[in-house]
A and B are shown apart, each in its own frame.
Chain A
């Protein structure tokens, strides 16, 4: 399946890009996407990062579906 991945803040800075597409095996989770991403971008540090699927905070074990948007969100500091 193909999913869209969004990177923000320090992750965007480290990766040098804000958006990419990943091809994942069937029955992949957010954690699978993170592992594939780590393999592709070795400089990326994802420990302690929150995840969102389709604009909602999600557990790393969340199952992904074709066309989902997965966002990796460093600790937030709004306000």
Chain B
């Protein structure tokens, strides 16, 4: 795991190994924070009626990290949160395996839950990551979203 540790203590990283939520929860827990919100995204099967064997997650790693830092800046500006962790896994994942972890610590539950969901939606629309899915219907890139920037 390539960990980033900006001054705020956010954990923004890309991992090629199995994701573990508990170390992030331990890291972000602190007495001044009454709320810790977390999300785990996992590989789903069946997906759109197709049994899935595996998803190969591909990404533009330096830009994933740059974009995570920008997302973190926006979330800190909009919500009263203390720290944020976003970890995206790349490589070949099987159904049920975790592909994305998000943890937010805050003084209170409202900002923690809101920022957690917002971090998830921003991560899905902005991180340069692609899914190549292999299943009963063959292999193909999963249709994605082009909301993050202007297109050609």
A and B physically associate = yes
A contact set with B: CB distance below 8 Å: 6, 8-10, 13, 31, 34, 46-52, 55-60, 71-79
Q: Which of these, B62, B130, B143, contacts A78 with CB under 8 Å?
A: B130
Given the interface contacts A8-B128, A52-B128, A55-B62, does A79 sit within 8 Å of B41 by beta carbon? Answer: yes
Report chain A residues within 8 Å CB of B50.
Answer: none
Report chain A residues within 8 Å CB of B130.
Answer: 8-10, 74, 76-78
Report chain B residues within 8 Å CB of A56.
Answer: 63, 66
Is A78 within 8 A of B123, CB to CB?
yes
In chain A, what residue has the closest Cβ to B140? A10
Q: How big is the B interface, by class? A: 20 to 34
Q: In the complex, what distance in Å separates the CA atom of A13 from the CA atom of B57?
A: 14
Given the interface contacts A8-B60, A56-B66, does A76 sit within 8 Å of B126 by beta carbon? Answer: yes
Q: Which of these, B41, B120, B127, B150, contacts A76 with CB under 8 Å?
A: B127
B contact set with A: CB distance below 8 Å: 41, 57-60, 62-63, 66-67, 88, 99-100, 120, 123-132, 141-146, 148-152
Is B127 within 8 A of A34, CB to CB?
no
Report chain A residues within 8 Å CB of B60.
Answer: 6, 8, 52, 55, 71, 73
Given the interface contacts A9-B141, A52-B63, A79-B123, does A73 sit within 8 Å of B128 by beta carbon? Answer: yes
